[in-house]
Amino acid sequence: GAGVSQSPSNKVTEKGKDVELRCDPISGHTALYWYRQSLGQGLEFLIYFQGNSAPDKSGLPSDRFSAERTGGSVSTLTIQRTQQEDSAVYLCASSPTGDTQYFGPGTRLTVL
């Protein structure tokens, strides 16, 4: 079956611009996560959605970052007024409420 998909696969933007990153989770998975992977670093948790519950935003690095999940499925991560330090691979994962998280291929964001 289809896995987690993310778009775009690559995004190059100029400092100060806003960007939107999209995640399509595996159908039926109620939990959705966003992580950030900086060059040569491990993965850093950003935000978590579980069903209709309020999202866990504890990992968002600043108020420039926000995320939505519409209809319990597709999620969009928005970064406003991008900075060079935002350059990273943004990974989305979904889970059927169990332990296993299934990751998408990521979006590589480059801020010039």
Partner 1 sequence: QQQVKQSPQSLIVQKGGISIINCAYENTAFDYFPWYQQFPGKGPALLIAIRPDVSEKKEGRFTISFNKSAKQFSLHIMDSQPGDSATYFCAASNTLQGAQKLVFGQGTRLTINP
Total residues at interface with partner 1 (CB under 8 A): 25
Interacting residue with partner 1 among 7, 11, 13, 31 (CB under 8 A): 31
Q: Which of 22, 45, 74, 87 binds partner 1 (CB under 8 A)?
A: 45
Contact status: 52 vs partner 1 (CB under 8 A):
no
Q: How far apart (Å, rounded) are the C-alpha atoms in residues 56 and 23?
A: 17
Q: Using the rule CB under 8 A, is 33 a contact of partner 1?
A: yes
CA–CA dist 84, 28 (Å, integer): 36
Q: What is the DSSP string of 67-92?
A: EEESTTS-EEEEE-S--GGG-EEEEE
Q: What is the residue-wise DSSP string for 46-60? A: EEEEETTSPPB-TT-
Q: In terms of CB distance, is 44 or 64 closer to partner 1?
A: 44
Residue matched to tokens 């690559």? 10
Q: Is 90 in the site for partner 1 (CB under 8 A)?
A: no
Our CB check for partner 1 shows the closer of 11 and 45 to be 45
93 interacts with partner 1 by CB under 8 A: yes
The encoded tokens of residue 98 equal 């169990």
Under the criterion CB under 8 A, does residue 102 sit at the interface with partner 1? yes
> Should residue 25 be labelled a site residue for partner 1 when binding is judged by CB under 8 A?
no
